[in-house]
A = this chain, B = another copy of it.
Amino acid sequence: MGRRPSEPGTVEGETMPEGKTMRWNLPDTELPTTWFNVVPLLPEPIGPPLHPATRQPLGPDDLAPLFPMALIAQEMTTEPTVEIPGEVLDVLRLWRPTPLVRATRLEKALGTPARIYYKDESVSPAGSHKPNTAVPQAFYNKAEGVARLTTETGAGQWGSALSFACAFYGLECKVYMVRASYEQKPYRRVLMETWGGSVVPSPVDEPGHPGSLGAAISDAVRDAVGRPDSHYSLGSVLNHVLLHQTVIGQEAKAQLAMAGEERPDVVIGCCGGGSNLGGITLPFVTDPRVRLLAVEPASCPTLTAGRYEYDFGDSAGYAPMLLMYTLGHDFVPPSIHAGGLRYHGDSPIISALVRSGRMQAVAYPQSKTFEAAITWARTQGTVPAPETGHAIRAVIDEALAAKEEGAERVILFNYSGHGLLDLSAYDAYLRGQLVD
């Protein structure tokens, strides 16, 4: 448990005294200059990716049709840190470091002695944490002469981020968007097009199918391997993606210290493929006093009800096989609004942490997460993404448990994205039309 802070940010009694700080901004000169690699520190090793046809461990050459060599090296590295190129820092600096904010109004509404901090990743141009990896991925591809990237997207957060990054490096961007989200969220398509990306619904050859992340990955991989000018880009799951996201947790550590907190008692993130969760939790893995909590949808309960085994990363079996918790690569999750959490598998790193007991996982039905999101909007003011609503649900339950126990507790979570392009989901919830 963190000590009670005497710095700005303290709430004395019931009311927030005037003039107290609730946000901690790092100067942009304090942006981390290295990524944090958790792989050599994991409690048990992760399995190597296997070739989908031969089921033999993959070498760098096997991945070369999909990824640039720099990213393949990062996927396999066991170095403790990886340097962030200056050209990448220059773009990240458009919105990073992101603020650390204390949710004092939510605390007060809940009547909890817990102190709730969140890292606000919604401030990026694309509205989520996703550009943290889209930018270096576009950079390394450009540096190796690639002209075009293909990718999949669920709710559209990742496709938006990659379209944004490609605009900055002069790359073409083709996005295969899960059809359920394509139809629920037309503004996401327009956002990608505003940055110059092109978007089609997936699966491309089954027009009536609601789609899944697994199927959209198949579409994007097939496109990339079929064109010599193209590579494929993945927005979650892989080691190098989680590596890029560790700027979040590194900044949060520095900002918690500014806020006078020694450490969080628990760090919480929602989990689809695991990238925002990894981004905020991995820098805390080595401190056993810090609990780590993954939050997933009850309708796609990979970590809480999946099997730990090798499975394909996509539904058609084009992508490498990964050792992970999985619901089966042919699992098609219901069309919940948190499209970014509709993935049958999970990051091998996150899976290994859950397998070893270092990280816990919990699942919620979507109505409970929208209830939490509305509470957030009416106390803290901002409208979270449905994915982020899952993290907020768990945060509220942790804060209420702290109240029940009469215990102080420092809760840190990742506010992974805003919900301004997900308002049709809020409309459904407010009209009572949302099903679990």
Q: Indicate the size class of the contact surface on chain A.
A: 35 or more
CB of B168 within 8 A of CB of A381, answer yes
Residues in chain B near residue A167, CB distance under 8 A: 377-378, 381
Task: Tell me the complex Cα distance, A21–B28, Å.
Answer: 6
B94, A22: Cβ atoms under 8 Å?
yes
Given contacts A21-B29, A22-B93, A27-B21, contact A383 B420 (CB under 8 A): no
Query: How far does the alpha carbon of A94 sit from the alpha carbon of B190 in the complex, in Å?
Result: 30
Task: Let me know if B424 and A190 touch, CB within 8 A.
Answer: yes
Closest to A101 in B: B94
CA–CA, A164 to B22, complex, Å? 19
CB of A133 to closest CB in B, whole Å: 16
Residue of B nearest to A93 (CB): B22
Chain A 180-193 interface mask (CB, 8 Å, partner B; 1/0): 00000011001101
Least CB distance from A109 to B in Å reads 11
Residue on B with the closest CB to A99?
B25
| A146 CB-CB contact with B under 8 Å | no
Interface string of A16-33 (1 = CB under 8 A from B): 101101110101110000
What are 6 A-B interface contacts by the 8 Å CB criterion? A18-B86, A21-B29, A95-B381, A125-B383, A193-B427, A195-B378
Given contacts A18-B86, A127-B420, A187-B187, 15 further A-B contacts (CB under 8 A): A8-B29, A19-B29, A21-B28, A23-B93, A123-B123, A167-B378, A186-B427, A187-B423, A190-B427, A191-B420, A191-B423, A193-B426, A194-B377, A194-B430, A420-B420
